[in-house]
Amino acid sequence: GESVGLHLPTLSVQEGDNSIINCAYSNSASDYFIWYKQESGKGPQFIIDIRSNMDKRQGQRVTVLLNKTVKHLSLQIAATQPGDSAVYFCAERMASSGTASKLTFGTGTRLQVTL
């Protein structure tokens, strides 16, 4: 079936540098995308989301870019900090019509921040 995938399983960056985590999705019917951060032993924590009618959205130190032409999603983290170390998932939601609006996740990218 359709799934969300990630290009890099592990990303190592130095503290203070910018991080870019990429994600490819295959379902052109998806209307909503979310980035989650998951620390060991915890549930996914919402970072930022974007609807399919947008191509960029900014939050505090984070930016999500959506390129529907190539079905690509990215998460940019500015001035990466040790506390950003975690596994990051992108998730997509297919547009629903009264039925379950499930999220489809990729396998995740581990971000390691070095001092």
Partner 1 sequence: ETGVTQSPTHLIKTRGQQVTLRCSSQSGHNTVSWYQQALGQGPQFIFQYYREEENGRGNFPPRFSGLQFPNYSSELNVNALELDDSALYLCASSSRDRGRGYTFGSGTRLTVV
Contact (Cβ atoms closer than 8 angstroms) between residue 95 and residue 83: no
Among 30, 105, 111, 113, binds partner 1 (CB under 8 A): 105
Report the SS3 class of residue 40.
coil
Residue 38 or 76 with smaller CB distance to partner 1:
38
Q: Which stretch binds partner 1 (CB under 8 A): 10-18, 52-60, 62-70, 106-114?
A: 106-114
Residue 39 or 55 with smaller CB distance to partner 1:
39
Work out how close the CB of 101 gets to partner 1 at its nearest, in angstroms, rounded to a whole number: 8
Distances (CA, A) of 84 to 7, 43, 69, 107: 19, 15, 29, 18
